[in-house]
Amino acid sequence: MTTYTLHLPRDARPGDPSALDESELVKDGFSWGAFFFTFLWFFVHRLWLAGLGILLIVLAFGGLMAVLDVHPLAGSIAQLLLQSLIGLEANSLRRWTLARRGRPAVDAVTAADQDEAEAKAFARWLDARSAPLPRSSSPSPILSTPRRSAEPVIGLFPDAERPR
């Protein structure tokens, strides 16, 4: 199961079906597209600055390998490691950029594939109309955040000490 985050415009109201037209669902995990196509993946997702930054990093890394006269096998392994790092961080950069553009994560769902995640996230968004959520001061409220109860702690941890 994979986790996906739903990104909507900041002024979207829970339960508003028109807000889903501008929604983006971002997978939390490794991006094979970013691994194989590096900067092109960023350009396809309209992440222009991140794509240019990745392009410069890849070119500088290749130039550094040539200047240092690294063995071709070691250079290939280093390039694979760089591409792995790009694949690991690509979706995080996408989420960060969406939040900067005024589209914070409003929900997180776990699903087997993107279609199931879209169905779950959209259903939860539309069901939020019947149960309005309290607005918090955090920039990106997540709909599925569990609330802590006021019950005492059970286990190895003692209750908080009272002020004297």
Pair of tokens at residue 113: 């594939």
Each residue's pLDDT tens digit, 12-70: 888 888 888 889 999 999 999 999 999 999 999 999 999 999 999 999 999 999 999 99
How far from chain centre, in Å, is Cα 125? 18
Using alpha carbons, select from 102, 109, 123 the residue that is nearest to residue 12.
102
**Which secondary-structure segment (H or E) carries 90?**
helix 72-100
Pair of tokens at residue 76: 């290939």
Each residue's pLDDT tens digit, 98-155: 999 999 999 999 999 999 999 999 999 888 765 554 444 444 455 555 555 565 556 5
pTM, two decimals, is: 0.71
How is residue 137 annotated by DSSP? S
